[in-house]
Amino acid sequence: MPSHPNACFRLRAVCVFARFALFVALLVPLAAAAAAADLRALAPEAARLQLAALRAEVAHHDTLYHQKAAPEISDYDYDQLKLRLRALEAAQPEIAKATPAVPEVGDDRSGLFQTYRHRERMMSLDKTYSEADLRAFHARLAKLLGRDDLTYTVEPKFDGFAVSVTYERGKLVRAVTRGNGVEGDDITANALLLRGLPRTLRESAEDGTANAIPETMELRGEIFVSFTEFERINAEREAAGEIKFANPRNLATGTIRQRDAAEVGRRNLEIVFYGIGACVPATAQPSTQRGLHESIRRWGLPGIARTWTARGVGELWAAMQELARARGDFAFPTDGAVAKLDAVALQREVGATEHAPRWAMAYKFAPARAETQVRAIAVQVGRTGVLTPVAEFAPVELAGSTVARASLHNREEVARRDIRVGDFVYVEKAGEIIPAVVGVNVARRPAGAQAFAFPEACPVCRTAVVSRAGEVAVRCPNAACPAQLRRRLEHFASREAVAIDGLGPAMVEALVEKGWVKEAPDLYRLRRADLLTLGKDVGKSTDRLLAAIEASKRAELWRFIYGLGIPQVGAVAAKEAARRYGSLAALAAAGSGEAVAASAASDSAGRAIAAYFLEVRNRATIASLIAAGVRPTAPMAVATGSRLAGKVFVLTGALPSLSRAQAAEKIVAAGGKVATSVSRNTHYVIAGADPGAKLEQARTFGVSILDEAALLRMLQDEEP
């Protein structure tokens, strides 16, 4: 890096230019020939400055992406930034050699775990968004091997966290992250909590024939979280007043690095295997990629349910397009397709570069992206007082839906991106799920557009906002803030909590505005005479609302715990807490000195509950609920002798009479378990209308497929 002040100033300017170029100049892949000519024509000093700036930028985003699971830019822009750097290095090789390089494989070592050296280097993949690059990839291989009819295996590219799992004599001994390709973090303890990861490989196939298991092998795979689980966890975090995960990959990456094993286990991470590193003896390695997938299944490991075979570049491109169309039915996140030479002998013949095998390439799907104009930046006040800026923009179509709003997350994010009212912004669906603003087209910024001033006072109650140490969130500290109260009441009355029908946002707004309800217990003191004054012809709706409020007094205990909105306590943790405490009174006592001391050595949910009930106001809320006649239903004992006990179920499609939540509750009450995706550990898939990819996965794994009627017979302890 240059030390002269003018050089440093110029470097900073180039860094700014590089970021701007991400969102303007690099929205489509570079035209290779013209781009290379432009880069070769750069004067040495300009090339040196651009190279230094791009390397600094890539290193910055590598750290955010691989180590902190907190990327600032979209995957597409991150990839394009690295492609620009590699193109400049290729065009200016002498200057590239004279300046510090950025490692080709991003380093994911966190410093939180012991590290372990891979037996065989764990490489990355060359990536492209271009059909032309994919055809060039085939042409290079055809030239090297002297034949054009090459056979490929095409696999979905899982969007998760890369891992290497070592088995010795069929026993799992270690799980290690990619790290820097040479060594990674030893995450074995957390990996053992992954769904469907066997500690011992299956020695014989289902037909009784012996499985050939190498003495030692490193299996390469991906840790991921299904869309269903991602949505469940984000719903719980939103309900608990916590910041939601931006996409499934960030959730998977952040979870597998947790030091709290209970939290790792609760989040239902999964793993899939698709490659092999070191294999001893080498002759035990399957001779084809298709053979490896078959071996993975025979060994009882979670593998890829569907792959494609292609001969020649025409079939290869067709397979890529077919996979792209099919990914909408996948239960897991994908961001592309991977082409691999099928024959291992040919893989060895063409070899690898310093960072990637020559025999494989990832074709990444360009994200659905649109440009639109920001009409306003609203600031919402959440249930826990967190102020969240939200961009409101002209509606645009993205991935089959119309979006007009996107969270800007927090004050720092707005300032970092410098998003202003009137700006034209690029919007994507992060992980194909959540709309996200990924950049600003500064070239179209209206004259006079002012930087957004984050409010210093709550926009609802005008209380001065505060920031807690170590948090980026800005909060309204006034628990009596009408906005917070409305969100708390809506959450408490929601279907996921105590389920008070008729207590929607409009009714909550009216009750708060009238001053009749200041906390949840006040709902149980509402008077019919007061409610009748809210408008004409409200008699029947008032009676229905009062009946629903009365019925909610006997809701299950876990629903009250969840409805209280205790930070870090979602539905799953609330059910565990209900079994642990058994009553509202015992729950409130969790704030006593003894209980706090006991919880300090317990799980994170126990600690959160103890901390919550240390506050007198929260204990008073429980006392008021009890005084108002609330008597929650005690947790049901889990059945152990039914047909469902210990069995794993997966639900897919729309059932005739039960919602998925109702079916899941019945299964769990009968001693079964409900999973979000199909694996060899699944016992039954319950399929309704439009079941999607899970039905095909069930057939692939030989899992029994039942309908709702068969499930109901099992629940009555009859043959399905």
Nearest to 248 by CA among 225, 223, 265: 225
Cα distances from 379 to residues 117, 246, 439, 526, 652, in angstroms, run 48, 19, 20, 31, 37
Whose structure tokens read 């002297």? Answer: 146
Residue at 112: amino acid letter: L
In contact, 115 and 185? CB cutoff 8 Å: yes
Rounded to whole angstroms, how far apart are CA atoms 483 and 385? 8
Element (H, E) at 429: strand 424-430
Does residue 575 have an active-site annotation? no
Other Cβ atoms closer than 10 A to 424: 18
Tokens representing 492 are 């408490």
Between helices 482-493 and 505-514, what is the axis angle to 10°? 130
As a whole number of angstroms, the distance between CA 51 and CA 101 comes to 9
Query: CA of 293: how far to CAs of 286, 304, 305, 324, 345, in Å?
Result: 9, 7, 9, 20, 16
Distance from C-alpha of 710 to C-alpha of 693, rounded to nearest angstrom? 21
Residue 339 carries which side chain, given as an amino acid letter? A
Omega of the bond leading into 435 within 30 degrees of 0 (cis)? no
* Rg over CA atoms, the chain: 28
Task: List Cα–Cα distances, 32 to 19, 57, 109, 132, 295, in angstroms.
Answer: 20, 22, 34, 10, 40
Measured over all CA atoms, what is the biggest interatomic distance in the chain, rounded to whole angstroms? 89
Identified catalytic residue from 157, 429, 575, 694:
157
- How far is the C-alpha of 1 from the C-alpha of 481, rounded, in Å? 51
Catalytically annotated residues: 157
